[in-house]
Amino acid sequence: MIAEAGLAALWIAAALAALQLALAALGLVRPAAPELSAAVRPVAIVQGVLAAAAMLLLIAVFQQSDMSVKLVAENSHSAKPWIYKIAGAWGNHEGSMLLWVTILGLAGGAVALFERQLDERTAIATLGAQAAIALGFYAFLLLASNPFARLYPAPTEGAGLNPLLQDPGLAFHPPTLYAGYVGLSVAFSFAVGALVTRDVEREFARAMRPWVLGAWIFLTIGITAGSYWAYYELGWGGWWFWDPVENASLMPWLAATALLHSVTVLATRDGLRAWTVMLAVVAFSMSMIGTFLVRSGILTSVHAFAVDPRRGAFILALLAIYIGGALTLFALRVGTVRQGRTFELVSREGGLVANNLLLSVILGIVLIGTLYPIVAAGFGVQLSVGPPFFNKAAGPIALLLVAIMGVGPLLRWRRDDLSALAERITWPLVATGVAFVVALLAAMPIGVLPLLGLSLAAGLAVASVAPLWGRNLRRTPLFTWGMVIAHLGIAVSLAGMACDAAFTAERLVALAPGQATRVGPWRVTLDGISPVVADNWSALQARLTVERDEGVRRLYPQSRTFSDPPTTTSESAIATVADGQLYTVLGQPDGQGRWQLRLWWKPFVTLIWAGGALIALGGALSLAGRLMRRRQEAVA
Amino acid sequence: MKRPLPWLPLIGFLVLLAVVAAGLFRPADRVVHSQLVGKPLPDFTLQPLIPGRPGLSRATLTGQGPRLLNVFASWCIPCIAEAPQLLRLKAAGVPIDAIAIRDTAVDVRRFLERNGDPYQRIGDDRDSAVQLSLGSSGVPETFLIDGQGRVVRQYVGDIRPDDVDGLIADWKALK
C-alpha cells in the first residue's frame, strides 16, 4: 500500500510539473491573462511537497523492510541497523534518483515560496524552466527507474547493502552533495528565465546569489565529507584519488565557485552579464554530466554502482535537451543582453575575472582528464588518466589561483593603483617568503609543489584576514567575514594538503603479537589479534598500543567480513592528535604467526578537512549576511 | 552568421555529446584483432621490479603451458577495479605474469598489498618499450599466451566479472 501511494505521488507530481511548465509558458505569451501566471507558484509548491512525500514513503518501506518491494529486497536486509535501513533508501540507483528529484522539487517550491525580489515575469520563466527540468527527471524515474516496483513472490530476506556503504557517512554524504548539485538547478533556471525575458541585470544577480551560495555550501560540505569518508573507509591512506566520481563532484564545485564570484561582480558593479549567465548554465550542466558519468557506468570507477547503458542513454537524452536548449537560447539571446559596465585591469573586477578564468581552466583540465578515456576508446585505445596528469596539470594553476586569491580582496573596485596595492600586500609577501625559507631549511628534501603550497598557504592566510585590518570588527558586514573565513579555509586546507604530501611517513611491517615498530614519532606495538562479531559482520581485530611523548593510546583496526553480500573491508583505526593523525590498517596474516600492518603518520592532515569546514562556514556567514541585508532593504 | 562567438559553447557541447554518445553505444567488443594474434611474442627481456620476484622474458613465457600476461600499473584506476577478477583467475589455477608500466618498486608493492597479488613474475617496463612492441597502448591489457609462447588473444581494458569464466574456458582449451 505504501509503495503504491509513493508511486501515485510521483505520477501526480510529474503531472503537476507538466502543468507548471504549460502555465508558465502560456502566462508569458499572454500577459493579458494574469491568472495563468498566478497559478504557477502554488503548483510549484504542491509539486515539491508531493516529491518529498514520495521520498518519505520510500524511506518508510525501507524502514519496514518490506521485501515485496524490489528495491528493498535488492538493497536492504532485515538485520541491518535502523540508520542504514533509512540511508539504504538512497544507497542505490533508483532511490538516489528519487532523492535527486525530491530536492529538485523542493528547490522549485522554495523559489516559488520565497523569491519575491525578482521581476515577476522572470520569476515565472524561472519556475517554468525548473518545471521542465523536473519533468524530464520524473520521466526518467517513472519510465526507467521506478523505485516502487513490486516483486512477486516476495523473498523472505533481502540481499543486503554494499558494506562500503554501511557507514554513518552514507547517511549524510549523498543528501548533502545532491542538495548542492540540484541547488545549482535553481541558478540554471534563473539564467534561462532571465534569457527568456531579456532581464540580465543587477536585480537578477542579487536574487540569484543566495541560491548559488546555498548550493555551493552544500557542495563544499559534501565534497569535504566525501573526501574524509574515502580516507578512512577505503583504507588507502589517501584523501583524493581523482576518481571519475570524485571529479564529478569537483566540476560543479569549480563552476559554482566561479559563478559565486562573477555574480558578485554583476550584483555590485553590473559587469560580466553574459559570462555570469553562461556560468550559471555551465554549473548545473556539470552537475548533470556528473550524474550521467556516475549513473551510466561509462567510466570505470572504484565507485562503480549499478551499470545500465539504457539508463545512460536516457540521462544523455535529458542532458542533450536541457544543456543544448539552454546553450541555444544563450546563443540566440546573448546579443540582446546589453554590455555591462567596464573596468580597469587592475581592480577588484580584474581580480575576479582572473579567478574566473583560472577556475575555468582547472575545470577544463578536470573535464578533459575525466572524459579523455572515452575519447581514446573511440580510437580503439583503452587507457586511464591518473593522478600524475591531474596533479601536474591542475596543481600549478591552482597555486597561481591561490596567489591571486590573496591579492584580489585587497583590490578596490573599478580601478586601483599598483603602488598602493604593493603596500597592502607587503605582509602577505613577507609571510610567503618566511614560510618558503623555513620550509626549505627545515623540511628538505621537499617537492616543488608542496614547498610552494606551504609558502602560499602562509601568505594567503595573512592576506585573507587583511581586509579586516583597521576595521571596526563589530560593524564589519557578515558577508565580509564570510569571505575572510572562506579564503582562510582555503589556506588551511592547502597547508594540510602540502603537509600530507611532504611529511607523511609510511611503514609496511609484519609483526607477531608482542612485537613493536616505529613510524614517525610513534612506537606501535601489536598486543594481539582477536575476533569480533556484530549484527551483520564479523571481524579480526588487532589490538595496538601506540605511544608518543605525551602518552599512550589504544587502536583497534579491523579486517571485517560481511555476510550479506559476502565481502571483506578494512576498517582503519585512526589516532587524531593536535598535529596530525596516525592511521593504521590491519592486513593479511603471513602464515608464520605474523600480521601485516600498514601505518601512516600524517602530520597536520586534518587541516585539509578543517579548511573545508571553514570554507563552508564562510559561505554560511556570507549567505546569512546577504539575507539579512535583503530583509533590511525590504523593510526600508 | 554574423556573430559566431555565442554559438561556440553550444558547438563545444555538441562535440562532447557526440563523444559520450559514441562511447555509450559502441558495441562491447573489447577483443582486439591484433596483428600479433597467432604469432610468437617478440623477443624481450625485462628486469625484476620488486626484489624476490623474477623478471620476465620471451624465454620464460615459452614452453611453460598456457598463461596470461597482464599489462598493468599501480597508478591506473581500472587496474584496481580489475584486481578481484585476476585473483579469481589465479584461484582457478590460471598462471598470470605481469608487465608493470612506468612504475616503481615501492608503488607496485603497495598496490599489490592493497589489491591482492595474482602475479608469478613481474617485469619492469619503465619506458613502455616492451609494451609498445607487444602492440599494447594502454593499461590494463591482458594477453592469453599458449604453451609455445604465441599470442592467442589480446584483451583491451579491465577484465570484468563477466569475462572471467570465458577466460578460464579459453585457458583450459589450450592445455
CATH code for position B77: 3.40.30.10
Distance from CA of A336 to the nearest CA of B (A): 11
- CB contact, 8 Å: A371 with chain B? yes
Query: What is the number of domains present in chain A?
Result: 2
Distance from CA of B168 to the nearest CA of A (A): 23
Mean pLDDT per 10-residue interval, chain B, length 175 residues: 72 85 63 68 87 87 88 86 91 92 87 90 86 80 88 84 88 86
pLDDT tens by residue, A409-434: 888 888 888 888 888 888 899 999 99
Residue B23 domain-assigned (yes or no): no
- State residue A381's pLDDT score: 64
Residue B1 domain-assigned (yes or no): no
Q: Closest-CA residue in chain A for B31?
A: A380
- CB contact, 8 Å: A296 with chain B? yes
Q: Which residues of B touch A306 (CB under 8 A)?
A: none
Query: What is the number of domains present in chain B?
Result: 1
Inspect the interface and report whether the beta carbons of A324 and B13 lie closer than 8 Å. yes
- State residue A564's pLDDT score: 60
Distance from CA of B78 to the nearest CA of A (A): 6
Residue A619 domain-assigned (yes or no): no
| Segments forming the whole domain that contains residue B107 | 28-174
- CB contact, 8 Å: A316 with chain B? yes
Residue B12 domain-assigned (yes or no): no
Q: Which of B9, B26, B110 sits opposite A330 (nearest CB)?
A: B9
Residues 494-553 of A with CB under 8 A from B: 508
Enumerate residues 6+ apart whose C-beta is below 8 A from A430.
Answer: A462
Which portions of chain A are predicted below pLDDT 50? 301-306
Strands across the sheet containing A580-589: A505-511, A595-603, A580-589, A573-577
Residue A112 domain-assigned (yes or no): yes
| Segments forming the whole domain that contains residue A537 | 505-604
Enumerate residues 6+ apart whose C-beta is below 8 A from A388.
Answer: B75
Instruction: Measure the CA–CA gap between A474 and A472, rounded to whole angstroms.
Output: 6
Residue B163 domain-assigned (yes or no): yes
- CB contact, 8 Å: B22 with chain A? yes
Phi, then psi, of A543 in degrees rounded to 5? -100, 115
Q: Which of B10, B24, B158 sits opposite A296 (nearest CB)?
A: B24
Residue B11 domain-assigned (yes or no): no
Residue B135 domain-assigned (yes or no): yes
- State residue A41's pLDDT score: 92
The last residue of a domain, from among A132, A166, A200: A166
Residue A127 domain-assigned (yes or no): yes
Cα→Cα distances B166→A193, B65, B85, B89, Å: 54, 18, 12, 11
- State residue B32's pLDDT score: 55
Residue A422 domain-assigned (yes or no): no
Residue B21 domain-assigned (yes or no): no
Residue from A367, A382, A392 whose CB has the most chain B CBs within 10 Å, to mutate: A382
Q: Which residues of A touch B110 (CB under 8 A)?
A: 508
Residue A15 domain-assigned (yes or no): yes
- State residue A306's pLDDT score: 44
Environment class of residue A300 by beta-carbon count within 10 Å: exposed (0-12), middle (13-18) or buried (19+)? buried
- State residue A301's pLDDT score: 47
Q: Which of A323, A331, A386 sits opposite B76 (nearest CB)?
A: A386
Residue B159 domain-assigned (yes or no): yes
- State residue B87's pLDDT score: 92
